[in-house]
Amino acid sequence: MTSITKDMKRLVGSKPEPRNPLTQCIAMHYTVLVDHIPKALAALNRNDPKDAIVIVSKSVVTIDECKRKLSPEERKKLKEHLLHAVAKILVMLLQEWLKSSKKFI
């Protein structure tokens, strides 16, 4: 597991217990963020774009099916949750980039 993956898990928080459609969707998005995306990146790193496309495609289909079960109010809550998680990840990636760019300065 890469340090970025560990940081993503730490920043996003623990996976919620799927009790209703909204928490099921949040749990699925969590799985995509901390499991599927790193696996797809690993596939690209080993020059296996076909595997990366399969991983991402399955994730997109599953997330789309999940969102269809939500009410408009639940979709809004999901969007807010995801925006917060993505913002955390972007900050973390920016920090990693800044650390690595200092090596070349």
Q: Give me the pLDDT at residue 18, please.
A: 55
> Is residue 7 assigned to a domain?
no
> Is residue 11 assigned to a domain?
no
Q: What value does the mean pLDDT take over residues 96-102?
A: 72
Q: What is the pLDDT of residues 42-78, one digit of tens each?
A: 888 888 888 888 888 888 888 888 888 899 999 888 8
Q: Give me the pLDDT at residue 4, please.
A: 55
> Is residue 10 assigned to a domain?
no
103: pLDDT strictly greater than 80: no
pTM of the full structure: 0.57
Domain count of the fold of the chain: 1
Residue 73 burial (10 A CB sphere; 0-12, 13-18, 19+)? exposed
> Is residue 3 assigned to a domain?
no
> Is residue 5 assigned to a domain?
no
